[in-house]
Chain A
């Protein structure tokens, strides 16, 4: 669905999406890295269960929430992807203890 612009460079960064190995470019936000890897829906809403994916990419819509390195409800568009990072899509509500 999304392709990278040809003039975007950057080192390759390895991370995981739901445990599967994935690749991004350094400087990518987690949300951009998800989209570049074909993950358009990164969570289900807590109340109705509808699918949601990164939308505004600038921190206002909160549709990009994912679990990053064990912490739930993080805004994927506001966090840079890092080598070895474990990104998990989120099914509904975050767990209080995580």
Chain B
């Protein structure tokens, strides 16, 4: 049968095959275990209502910060700020920087780079996030709250509709034990001091059936968070790039940055296509920030974590809410994720893993079995040791910032509307100390 190919983030094209076929293959495969849930946390029970302090915290860390202005004179070069990396993180920051009136350049390596911005699952997701770092829950919540306005601004500026929807997200589960584990984890998450709470519900099978009458017989229930949503993340990247162009940002592809050095009160960047000077530099180079950060007294100890994604042919809309592992896109294709694998920089598609995620998706939603698969791929998450973002300004080379995170789609609104204005204005507020890489220096308990 003919092949239909697509490429994305190290994608490997794959024969057109039905999901049921993929699932069958998986059952014979001894190595089909690289599958976990989207969020390692879990879920819970009551519908927690926001308390007044939540609002404060959201405002404090969140998107309500005003747009900063360039207060410092331009020093050290042709650009006020050079952003290294044109993925979702770099373009969101650059887009926000441009709004402050700064003269910005975005330097990107090119199509050979490992780039999850082209291969992700497109959730704008809150449910389950923040265990061990409640500030991250607040930061994520603020971004999901700002997302609709952010999408609106992109549409107005560029005409690109990034298809943001926030109908609430489900995490269906296949056993009672799993449901309890999730419920307890969500409870522990929300019992943390300083937690920015968000509403969620634990649903039994009957309640889930009302929303999704087509769930499989093994589904015992699930959790629901009304603040979860999703978008079309390829269009998000396109909108950001179009927006950069419209606001006069210099986008320079094939400018892999080899070296960054502080020079004359600014920075000198040595790239594959010549030298660039800028007053400030923002390192948002995904995996390569690990190499670049130490050059300016920063750290970004990120590692690749592989995830597989499968996309089916377009079908009539039936799945009206995203779930952590299956969602229907605005155009009708069904995306199936996601696996968590430690495999270095290898983006080779593993049939065993695709089969495992296909098989699990069919257990949740048996009607998927008949659908044809049009593409599948593996992409590499940019993961810090604890999975939380790193936002920091260099102490030894002020004006150099590092920005990296695991959920660049979800956090795009915050990066553009909150983080960028602070960078433009000269520094991150104290609330960001928690996101410093210095947290990794704490000696490991024996």
Which among A46, A59, A71, A97 is the interface contact of B314 at CB below 8 angstroms?
Answer: A46
In the bound assembly, the distance between CA atoms of A92 and B371 in angstroms comes to 15
Query: Are B334 and A96 in contact (CB-based, < 8 A)?
Result: yes
Query: Are B314 and A47 in contact (CB-based, < 8 A)?
Result: yes
Query: Are A60 and B2 in contact (CB-based, < 8 A)?
Result: yes
Task: Determine chain B's interface SS by DSSP, over half rule.
Answer: loop
A residues 47-98 touching B (CB-CB < 8 Å):
47, 58-60, 62, 71-73, 75, 78, 92-98
List chain A residues, Cβ under 8 A from B368. 96
List chain B residues, Cβ under 8 A from A72. 315
Q: How many A residues, CB 8 Å from partner?
A: 18
**Measured between C-beta atoms, what is the minimum distance from B353 to chain A in Å?**
23
**Measured between C-beta atoms, what is the minimum distance from A55 to chain B in Å?**
13
In the bound assembly, the distance between CA atoms of A78 and B370 in angstroms comes to 18
List chain A residues, Cβ under 8 A from B314. 46-47, 93-94
Which among A47, A75, A92, A97 is the interface contact of B367 at CB below 8 angstroms?
Answer: A97
**Measured between C-beta atoms, what is the minimum distance from A95 to chain B in Å?**
5
In the bound assembly, the distance between CA atoms of A23 and B378 in angstroms comes to 46
Query: Are A94 and B1 in contact (CB-based, < 8 A)?
Result: no
Query: Are B316 and A94 in contact (CB-based, < 8 A)?
Result: yes
**Chain B residue nearest to A74 in the complex (CB):** B372
In the bound assembly, the distance between CA atoms of A43 and B332 in angstroms comes to 16
In the bound assembly, the distance between CA atoms of A62 and B332 in angstroms comes to 16
In the bound assembly, the distance between CA atoms of A58 and B1 in angstroms comes to 10
With A71-B370, A73-B313, A73-B372 as known contacts, state yes or no: A97 contacts B4, CB within 8 Å.
no
With A71-B370, A98-B370 as known contacts, state yes or no: A93 contacts B315, CB within 8 Å.
yes
In the bound assembly, the distance between CA atoms of A21 and B147 in angstroms comes to 53
Query: Are A94 and B313 in contact (CB-based, < 8 A)?
Result: yes
Which among B2, B332, B370 is the interface contact of A93 at CB below 8 angstroms?
Answer: B332
Query: Are A96 and B367 in contact (CB-based, < 8 A)?
Result: yes
Query: Are B4 and A93 in contact (CB-based, < 8 A)?
Result: no
With A46-B331, A46-B332, A47-B331 as known contacts, state yes or no: A95 contacts B2, CB within 8 Å.
no
List chain A residues, Cβ under 8 A from B332. 46-47, 93
**Chain B residue nearest to A62 in the complex (CB):** B4
B residues 374-391 touching A (CB-CB < 8 Å):
none
With A46-B331, A47-B331, A71-B370 as known contacts, state yes or no: A94 contacts B315, CB within 8 Å.
yes
List chain B residues, Cβ under 8 A from A96. 214, 315-316, 318-319, 334, 367-368, 370-371
In the bound assembly, the distance between CA atoms of A93 and B316 in angstroms comes to 5
**Chain B residue nearest to A92 in the complex (CB):** B316
List chain B residues, Cβ under 8 A from A92. 316
Query: Are B315 and A95 in contact (CB-based, < 8 A)?
Result: yes
Pick from B214, B317, B334, B372 the residue with the most CB of A within 10 Å: B372
Query: Are A95 and B316 in contact (CB-based, < 8 A)?
Result: yes
**Chain B residue nearest to A95 in the complex (CB):** B316
List chain B residues, Cβ under 8 A from A59. 1-2
In the bound assembly, the distance between CA atoms of A71 and B367 in angstroms comes to 12
**Chain B residue nearest to A97 in the complex (CB):** B367
Known: A47-B332, A96-B368, A98-B370. 5 other contacts (CB 8 A): A93-B315, A94-B371, A95-B318, A96-B334, A96-B367
Q: Taking beta carbons and an 8 Å cutoff, which residues of A are in contact with B? A: 46-47, 58-60, 62, 71-73, 75, 78, 92-98
Q: Taking beta carbons and an 8 Å cutoff, which residues of B are in contact with A? A: 1-2, 4, 214, 313-319, 331-332, 334, 367-368, 370-372
**Would you mind naming 27 contact pairs between A and B with Cβ atoms under 8 Å apart?**
A46-B314, A46-B331, A46-B332, A47-B332, A58-B2, A59-B1, A59-B2, A60-B2, A62-B2, A62-B4, A72-B315, A78-B1, A93-B314, A93-B316, A93-B317, A94-B314, A94-B315, A95-B318, A96-B214, A96-B315, A96-B316, A96-B318, A96-B319, A96-B334, A96-B370, A96-B371, A97-B367
